[in-house]
A and B are shown apart, each in its own frame.
Chain A
Amino acid sequence: MYSYKRILVPTDGSDVSAFAEQAAVDFARAHGSEIVTLSVAKPYPAYAAAEASMAVDPGLDDQALRDWAERNVRRVAAAAAAAGVPCTTLTVFSHSASDAILDAVTEQQCDLIFMGSHGRRGLSRLLAGSETQNVLAYAQVPVMVMRPPDKSGHRPRP
């Protein structure tokens, strides 16, 4: 039988990912799995220009992004700790969240990915997020796609 020993939970700190995080923690507790949570900090594309003009200190923004990613994974770690689920936290800098997620699956030997149907940029509930689609297309392990209830608390008709 397929076993779920290590579950990768990518997080971007959004409400959508919070929903997937909690579901992943519940699943991990029920199946005796560990959680590996990952937050991907995307460097701003404007850096090159900003550096050239010496207008801002890029290192400062780097630190802000790192802190943001840290906060995201700490939220998952806290939820996991509350449920007594072992949790590893990872933060990486990458221009592509989906690449970072796929790399983490291999490096951390995960056997399941739990993620929201769309990320922070998700605008329409009618499209799976682009990062989610990339992960679905290339992941070698099963992917659990979670759609959170609407903001109104109303669940769309399935």
Chain B
Amino acid sequence: MYRRILVPTDGTELASRAIDLALGLATLARGTLIAVHAGAPPFLLAPEVGFGAPLQDAWVREREQLAHDGLSYVRRCAGEAGVACQTILVRNDAPWQAIIDTARDQACDLIVMASHGRGGLARRLIGSETAKVLTHSAIPVLVVR
């Protein structure tokens, strides 16, 4: 039984099936769900480039909203299912690295993630972040289409 289950969310509905499965496994094991969103660092252009400021603000707000929506969706689902849940927002350029690091720091024993995320290129066989997590993870990864 997996008791500390990490589920990365990119804030889109692509993660919802993985969230469902993770919740199911956590329910059976009376485990804890740990949701992580890897947000990009809070800069788009170099901060000293003043003319980018309005664009920058809008972009940061949009990203914050995405992260917030994704994590609160997991918290709500876990609440409805009666599963203990923790949500974590990490700032990292490389989402896969954030996922691997969080899994280690939180002593997780399973990662449940979608085969594709927001990254686009739907025709690609498997999402690039998922492929990197598979490559670097020392714990099992449940890949969900």
How distant is the Cα of A31 from the Cα of B142 in the complex, in angstroms? 15
Q: A142 CB to closest chain B CB, in angstroms? A: 5
How distant is the Cα of A147 from the Cα of B142 in the complex, in angstroms? 12
Interface residues of A in 94-138 (CB under 8 A from B): 117, 126-128, 133-134, 136-137
How distant is the Cα of A128 from the Cα of B143 in the complex, in angstroms? 13
Question: Which residues of chain B come closer than 8 Å to A134, judged between CB atoms?
Answer: 125
Q: B131 CB to closest chain A CB, in angstroms? A: 7
Q: Interface size (A, Cβ < 8 Å)?
A: 26
Of A1, A30, A117, A136, which is within 8 A of B27 by CB? Answer: A1
Q: B143 CB to closest chain A CB, in angstroms? A: 5
Q: B34 CB to closest chain A CB, in angstroms? A: 13
How distant is the Cα of A136 from the Cα of B131 in the complex, in angstroms? 10
Q: Given A30-B1, A143-B143, A158-B137, verify A136-B126 contact (CB < 8 Å).
A: yes
Closest 6 CB pairs of A and B: A137-B125, A158-B138, A158-B104, A1-B24, A142-B144, A30-B1
Residues of A within 8 A of B (CB): 1-2, 23, 30-31, 117, 126-128, 133-134, 136-137, 139-140, 142-147, 149, 155-158
